[in-house]
Structure 1
Amino acid sequence: MDDQNKNLMLATALSFIVILVWFVLFPPPEPSPADPNAAITSAEGQAVLPTASGDEVATSGAATNAVAEPIADAPRITIETDRLKGSISLLGGRIDELALKDYRVSLDEGSPIVDLLAPVGQANPYYALYGWAPGAGLSFEEVPGPNTIWNADGSRALSVDSPVTLTWDNGIGLQFTRTIAVDKDFMFSVTQSVENTGAGTVSLAPYGILARHGEPQDLKNFFILHEGLVAMADGELSEIDYSDMPDFDINPNEGARAEVTQVAEQGWIGFTDQYWMTTLIPQPGAFKATAKYDERRDIYQSEAVLPTQKLAPGETATVNTQLFAGAKEWETIRNYQKAGVDRFLDSIDWGWFFFLTKPIFAVLHYLNALIGNMGWAIIGLTLLIKAILFPLAYKSNVSMARMKALQPQMEVIKEKAGDDKQKLQQEMMALYKKEKVNPVSGCLPILLQIPIFFSLYKVIFVTLELRHAPWLGWIEDLSAPDPSSILNLFGLLNFMPPEPGSILAIFSLGILPILLGISMWMQQKLNPAPTDPTQAMIFAWMPWVFMFMLGTFASGLVVYWIANNTITFTQQYLIMRSQGVKPDVFGNIRAGFKRKPKAE
């Protein structure tokens, strides 16, 4: 094997070794269970709400409680659309029960649909609530908060065509109204208004809160995925993991660990998991975005507080806040971005290689819509990538073919130079210059393939569209490893292979990883094995090592790599033939099975 191919294979090996070492050193830890109903240690039992911009809203010494004890007979309003089901509690008017009809927990028959929000009293409460923070002349008892019992005015169901209206009168001249609407997907619109029918001027600030008790039960804790707070403030994206929020500084005005951002024009704030998200999206204009961790009760909060409203007698103030609560579907989120939600697509974790992951997924999404199958879309994407890189690959393979044709002359130069490395280098460079051959051009395609590989890995891992996406036959989820196993002869034996995560699972190879190993092995056979015994042994083992390494990777990624190897083999074979070099693939295979004579 010439030096060109050695460099290519070593570069490939190095990129995969980096992945393997990271997985070994930093495996995803098992999430530790948290007590979702930790006791409140403060005397008042209240969670401090951040102030709106301005001095009118008082926060020191008083607070709005983001948590209320569950009231068994608190009335509820049903949420029912084609894609959502749940309910709104009239205790605080909180949206605290929501499930996603289109998504199930697993592929098992009878698997329940995904629950997104849950009320206090259930495991891992997670909810959205709205209210008004009191300013000058008002107390917390005189504004609606998490413990207020709202009147539903006869409304008992929220649907796409039927918004609901809640009302509350504080008894001293302030009448509050909250109208909640929902669209056909995952966006709620919450319109809050207050009318001052009293005799004096008052000031108060509207807010929205997303509260989550404890970390998610299915937290991945994986370096390639962001889970936690996600926010956009005037075009600047912030991502803070759940594990980092307890490290916030104690804010004396908040009574909890908090990080506050003043948004001047537009933004949003919320929580994101691997596939699901909740986000507060205030109306355009200034607001205060706060990320908060209440260590007393292990509660994570994201808050949006709008500017203080001053109301003279007879005046009314109205504000609107949107709430996204649902699945991180690329097309749905893109439509919301087109409708005015600033840079909403950045809520999907595109990573450092966003300049590759974004267009790669856009093409993949288009191909899936065109073909109707994500597996074939991945193969189509591979063909497009290879077509784009073909001019570079052609130049590289032509250079490799010419290098191979120069082997006899290179051997003569090596014999003449002997141990004089400087002379050998000079003679080699002179030969390359004379024959117009670039010895490093063969490395460029593989160097470009490495970031593409990592980007596709990121896309397959973080995007919802690959979750539970089937390809053909036994591949029912391209985001999961190949479920077949050589240990039970791919289902012929009545034996269950080891579960993923087990040490033995690495030997439970599926059909796709085996095909991957074969495709890499065939690619090697375009050239004879290296004459050096050590190098020959390394290259002989390399395809099978990668086969085991990628055996636990997502099936979609393995499909891509098999298609990439197959196309690369075909390209290289045809280009070498066009340059007068005839690869003896079967001869190289036979040579690999011959026993080496023992040294005397």
Structure 2
Amino acid sequence: MDDKRNMIAAILLSVAILIGWNFVSEKFFPTPDKPDVTRTVAGPEGAAPAATPGQPAALPAPGVPAPATAQAIRPIEAVLGDGNRIPIDTPAIKGSINLVGARVDDITLSKYRQTIKKDSPPVRLFAPAGTKAAYFASIGWSAQGIVVPGPTTLWTASGTKLTPATPVTLSWANGAGQTFRIEYSIDDDYLITAKQTIANTGTAPVAVRSGTYIDRTGKPTDPHEQDSWTIHVGPTGYLDGKSNFTNYDELEEAANNTVAYTSAGWLGFTDKYWLAAVIPAKGEKVSAAFNSLPGGAYRAAFARDLVEVAPGKQVTTTSRVFAGAKEVSTLSRYQDDQGITRLSNAIDWGWFEFFEVPIFKLLDWLFKQVGNFGVAIMVLTLIIRALMFPIAQRQFGSMAQMRLVQPKMKALQERHKDDKPKMQQELMKLYKDEKINPLAGCLPIVIQIPIFYALYKVLMLTIEMRHQPFILWIKDLSAPDPLHILNLFGLLPFTPPSILSIGILAVILGITMFLQFRLNPQATDPVQQQVFKIMPWLFMFIMAPFAAGLLLYWITNNLLSIAQQQWMYRKFPQLKAAPAK
């Protein structure tokens, strides 16, 4: 009767874990996208139209021009075909600057595709106003008593194309003695530099303030691209002396829909893989704010203090715009060479950055050596197992001791089956007499937890791992296994729910875990015995929706564990035979 109750308890516990994990994982461990559903950053086709907000009173630079006035939503190609543009051409990005408003509002990332298909278009980061999910960076001035350029100002350009070798200067005069200039330059990667100049040729001094901002319409609609406990998506920056992670809801609920700061190293909007940020000159004192604007739009802006420009004088300030992929090496280089404080924190490593970054660097180095990301994961697993070999040997020794005393343990259980406290007391005495630590076998599992979490974060966060193939049907190791058993590997026209999306890798994981548990000494408690029998298949369901790279790591680790245990049994055959005596 007790055995039946124990069996029922084990089954109910397993079902509770399986169902509960489905809810917990959605909040704390979101699974990555499938390989063929990556969308453009500028927004899916169903995104809300671009907003046309007015100037919020709390913006740190009152008078910085607001987005363009209301207009019909048009396709991006039609808006870009209107002309009045200066092309942008670098090894990393393609796009254009709109001479109307001097906006950087057209950027695609040449090195990254929207999906794993060979003919997939490049990822679009910025899109102009008047299109769905507009996203752009602008330079502006504010002043009292003089006319400053605005969102509808048509600038004059000197230069025909912005490249790393050819900067472009835009100019505009207000007809009252003030001339405004913006000199745009760009490097080989994602950093655009804008030198803003106001020259006063009038007869009286003028007081002006300059600022730089990014406007974005709409939130990410894909559930895998939304803010979560482990991955930050939304407003971010280095503000008031620390890294800041704000979410869109906080902006909407804040007073005046504004969150303001007295100092800023940089600020902008981050997606899982992409970042758009505005950055003042190194060491420059600016104020900054995030705003939630009417129409579902959001703004990140910084502004300088008012400065007086005397007649015959000019003032120049420098702003920078980052618009590109969150490549670890690129962010670190800008942080070190350009003095952009904590720009690398645009990647939300979390509390375990000290551990995750070395794992990433080792995995990235291995990938560059072997040329296959899946093989790199397997080699990483082998290295980790080698480093843990002494601990694993200690674990095996503990398990071997448990096997040797298993007949005595069973005898104690049989002798005191009606007196549980006495049985536990005698078991602890047996452990002490035989010098056995029953918890020693748990140490490798405990160590594996931070390693597994670090690999999870690396696979989910780093652009270097995105769309990396392995072999055969695994075309993207940062996405789940695409072949599901329940729909006959795609032959049936439906997608199973995540809790039932069992792929080939998940089945292999369950089998290898089952074989590994078979080599371990059998638990003395009947409930534990049943749990260990069910656990491999439980983990098969739990791990199925995760990135294929994580399953590959776990499978490789299981195989290495099995090989090590088999080797130890061949070296010490008496350990395997002991329980039979």
TM-score interval for Structure 1 and Structure 2 normalised by the shorter chain: 0.7 to 0.9
CA distance in 2, matches of 1:32, 1:17: 34
Partner of 2:156: 151
In the TM superposition, what is the alpha-carbon distance from 1:351 to its structure 2 partner?
A: 2.4
Partner of 2:68: 67
In the TM superposition, what is the alpha-carbon distance from 1:126 to its structure 2 partner?
A: 0.4
Match of 1:557 among 550, 553, 570: 550
Q: Would the aligned equivalents of 1:47 and 1:63 in 2 still touch at CA under 8 Å?
A: no
Partner of 2:247: 241
Match of 2:125 among 116, 120, 126: 116
Q: Would the aligned equivalents of 1:397 and 1:576 in 2 still touch at CA under 8 Å?
A: no
Partner of 1:593: none
Partner of 1:302: 300
In the TM superposition, what is the alpha-carbon distance from 1:376 to its structure 2 partner?
A: 1.1
User: 2:351 is paired with a residue of what secondary structure?
Assistant: coil
Q: Would the aligned equivalents of 2:378 and 2:553 in 1 still touch at CA under 8 Å?
A: yes
Partner of 1:522: 515
Partner of 2:233: 227
Match of 2:176 among 172, 178, 188: 172
Match of 1:498 among 494, 502, 505: 494
User: 2:22 is paired with a residue of what secondary structure?
Assistant: helix
Give per-residue Cα distances to partners, 1:34-72, cap 9 Å, x unaligned.
Answer: 5324565xxxx44447335xxxxxx4xx66323345698
Give per-residue Cα distances to partners, 1:131-170, cap 9 Å, x unaligned.
Answer: 1121xx534xx122323221113x2211111110011112
Q: Would the aligned equivalents of 1:382 and 1:564 in 2 still touch at CA under 8 Å?
A: yes
User: Are positions 1:359 and 2:358 aligned together?
Assistant: yes
In the TM superposition, what is the alpha-carbon distance from 1:573 to its structure 2 partner?
A: 3.5
Gaps of 5+ in 1: 1-9, 53-58, 251-256, 589-600
Give per-residue Cα distances to partners, 1:421-469, cap 9 Å, x unaligned.
Answer: 5554444334333333222111121122223222221221121122110
User: 1:190 is paired with a residue of what secondary structure?
Assistant: strand
Q: One-letter code of the match for 1:272?
A: T
Partner of 1:259: 259
CA distance in 2, matches of 1:583, 1:203: 87
In the TM superposition, what is the alpha-carbon distance from 1:218 to its structure 2 partner?
A: 3.9
Q: One-letter code of the match for 1:143?
A: V
Question: Which structure would you say has the larger RCO, counting Cα contacts within 8 Å and 6 or more residues apart?
Answer: 2
Decide which moves more: 240-249 or 416-425.
Answer: 416-425
CA distance in 1, matches of 2:255, 2:341: 29
TM-score by length of 2: 0.85
In the TM superposition, what is the alpha-carbon distance from 1:86 to its structure 2 partner?
A: 1.0
Partner of 2:196: 192
Distance 1:86 1:215, change over 3 A: same
Mapping 1:160-559, distance limit 5 Å? 160-218=164-222, 220-221=225-226, 223=228, 224-233=230-239, 235-250=241-256, 257-263=257-263, 267-284=265-282, 285-294=284-293, 296-339=294-337, 340-414=339-413, 419-487=418-486, 495-496=491-492, 498-499=494-495, 502-503=496-497, 507=500, 509-527=502-520, 535-559=528-552
Q: One-letter code of the match for 1:161?
A: A
CA distance in 2, matches of 1:99, 1:562: 38
Distance 1:13 1:328, change over 3 A: farther
Distance 1:203 1:543, change over 3 A: same
Partner of 2:75: none
Partner of 2:101: 92
CA distance in 1, matches of 2:511, 2:169: 64
Decide which moves more: 413-422 or 79-88.
Answer: 413-422
State the identity %: 40
Q: One-letter code of the match for 1:540?
A: K
User: 1:352 is paired with a residue of what secondary structure?
Assistant: helix
Give per-residue Cα distances to partners, 1:198-217, cap 9 Å, x unaligned.
Answer: 22222212100100012134
CA RMSD of aligned residues (A): 3.2
CA distance in 1, matches of 2:314, 2:368: 48
Partner of 2:5: none
CA distance in 1, matches of 2:267, 2:434: 61
In the TM superposition, what is the alpha-carbon distance from 1:387 to its structure 2 partner?
A: 2.3
Give per-residue Cα distances to partners, 1:17-38, cap 9 Å, x unaligned.
Answer: 7643414688979999553245
Q: One-letter code of the match for 2:321?
A: L
Q: One-letter code of the match for 2:556?
A: A
Give per-residue Cα distances to partners, 1:76-104, cap 9 Å, x unaligned.
Answer: 11111222111111111000011111111
Q: One-letter code of the match for 2:260?
A: V
CA distance in 2, matches of 1:402, 1:13: 32
CA distance in 2, matches of 1:497, 1:513: 21
Q: Would the aligned equivalents of 1:337 and 1:344 in 2 still touch at CA under 8 Å?
A: yes
User: 2:519 is paired with a residue of what secondary structure?
Assistant: coil
In the TM superposition, what is the alpha-carbon distance from 1:122 to its structure 2 partner?
A: 1.0
Partner of 2:145: 138
User: 1:442 is paired with a residue of what secondary structure?
Assistant: helix
Partner of 2:559: 566
Number of positions where the alignment pairs a residue of Structure 1 with one of Structure 2: 546
Q: One-letter code of the match for 1:258?
A: T
Gaps of 5+ in 2: 1-11, 34-43, 72-78
Q: Would the aligned equivalents of 1:49 and 1:64 in 2 still touch at CA under 8 Å?
A: no
Distance 1:319 1:11, change over 3 A: farther
Q: Would the aligned equivalents of 1:485 and 1:497 in 2 still touch at CA under 8 Å?
A: no
CA distance in 2, matches of 1:21, 1:538: 21
Distance 1:26 1:565, change over 3 A: closer
Distance 1:27 1:387, change over 3 A: closer
